[in-house]
């Protein structure tokens, strides 16, 4: 069992706000832990301490199995609600992509809105919460902090720099190493149905290779087999494969447009506390992580390197023993 029994499995259907009335609603699968084990809180109850954990590519909610163990060891589950969804389009969460080619439905703006709606449905509208995200989930968290400033108490971003800067760094520096290491940003963003066809021909191989190559030496071959199987096998479903590709297509198009609008309107800076966690390998690739993020937070920015040279990209698992105490300390300063 990856998660304690206190984590309930839930399927939540979000109320549609689409102008197209016959559009299927978004359905989100999530794990939820609550000290009181209440699914919906009444207005008379005291405010809850809520942590939302968002996974990245190519995973689903099971990315956070080691994170939850560290939260449990620290006694955090006695006081905090924890919500861990499959992002819409991944795992068991379903969302129909945009039919007009805009990729809006899988944009970070739309997915952030879905996640806020999930919290509203699980709790009461207006519930404030902390968000921690890794990889693509961190990009959703960053967008959430910009679009829902009255709802987000703080964001922890793991292993990312802003999307626009990632594309700008794909150049000839260091013999094109960053470009080669992030080839999937370009490949996965190609129009339908090229990546669907190529990956779908041997999805188990593609995702097994991706996971192994992104894992550091210590955990390579030692990740929990149940978790790894859930990551690989989800892509046998063509809808999940397309959902992940739409994520990257949005990242190379409409997400950049939204980010540019933020920059022009002065909204790129978030006004909640910001914790940036990154690995040694990530620092070696990007070097100026602190210089990038410090100007983008107006209410305190903490940048921490966690783990050693044996840690790869999957920080919430591989560096959990170092990273989660940093997360806990930061959370407890925000919510007393």
Which residues does the annotation mark as catalytic?
135, 313
Closest listed residue to residue 7, CA positions, set 86, 82, 92 = 82
Q: Enter the tokens of residue 137.
A: 């989930």
Give Cα separations from 188 to 150, 169, 241 (angstroms): 34, 18, 10
CB 23 within 8 A of CB 16: yes
Pairing of strands 274-278, 301-305: parallel
* Beta-sheet strand order (sheet of 301-305): 8-13, 27-33, 81-85, 50-54, 129-134, 152-158, 274-278, 301-305
Q: 28 in helix, strand or coil?
A: strand
Rounded to the nearest 5 percent, the helix, strand and coil shares of the chain are 45, 15, 40
Tell me the chain's radius of gyration from C-alpha atoms: 19
Closest listed residue to residue 318, CA positions, set 288, 277, 274, 289 = 277
Q: Enter the tokens of residue 209.
A: 């290779």
Site of tokens 């009335």: 21
Site of tokens 């709790």: 123
């Amino acid at each position: 069992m990856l998660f304690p029994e206190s984590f309930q499995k839930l399927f939540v259907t979000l109320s549609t706000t689409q102008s197209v009335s016959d559009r299927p609603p978004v359905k989100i699968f999530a794990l939820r832990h609550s000290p009181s084990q209440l699914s919906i809180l009444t207005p008379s109850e005291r405010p809850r301490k809520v942590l939302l954990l968002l996974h990245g590519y190519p995973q689903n909610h099971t990315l956070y199995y080691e994170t939850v163990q560290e939260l449990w060891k620290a006694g955090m589950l006695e006081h905090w609600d924890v919500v861990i969804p499959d992002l819409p389009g991944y795992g068991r969460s379903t969302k129909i992509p945009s039919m007009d080619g805009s990729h809006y439905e899988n944009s970070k703006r739309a997915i952030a809105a879905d996640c806020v709606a999930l919290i509203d449905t699980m709790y009461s509208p207006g519930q404030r919460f902390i968000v921690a995200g890794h990889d693509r989930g961190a990009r959703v968290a960053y967008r959430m902090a910009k679009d829902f400033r009255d709802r987000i108490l703080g964001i922890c971003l793991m292993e990312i720099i802003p999307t626009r800067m990632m594309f700008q760094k794909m150049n000839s520096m260091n013999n094109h190493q960053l470009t080669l290491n992030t080839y999937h940003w370009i490949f996965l963003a190609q129009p339908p149905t090229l990546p669907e066809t190529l990956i779908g021909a041997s999805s188990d191989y593609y995702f097994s290779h991706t996971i192994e190559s992104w894992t550091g030496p210590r955990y390579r071959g030692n990740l929990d087999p149940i978790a790894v199987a859930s990551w690989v096998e989800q892509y046998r479903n063509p809808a999940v494969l397309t959902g992940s590709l739409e994520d990257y297509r949005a990242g190379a198009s409409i997400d950049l447009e939204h980010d540019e609008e933020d920059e022009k309107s002065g909204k790129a800076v978030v006004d909640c506390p910001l914790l940036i966690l990154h690995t040694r390998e990530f620092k070696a690739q990007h070097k100026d992580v602190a210089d990038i993020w410090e100007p983008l937070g107006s209410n305190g920015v903490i940048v921490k390197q966690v783990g050693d040279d044996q840690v790869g990209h999957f920080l919430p698992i591989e560096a959990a023993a170092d990273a989660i105490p940093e997360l806990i300390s930061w959370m407890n300063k925000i919510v007393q």
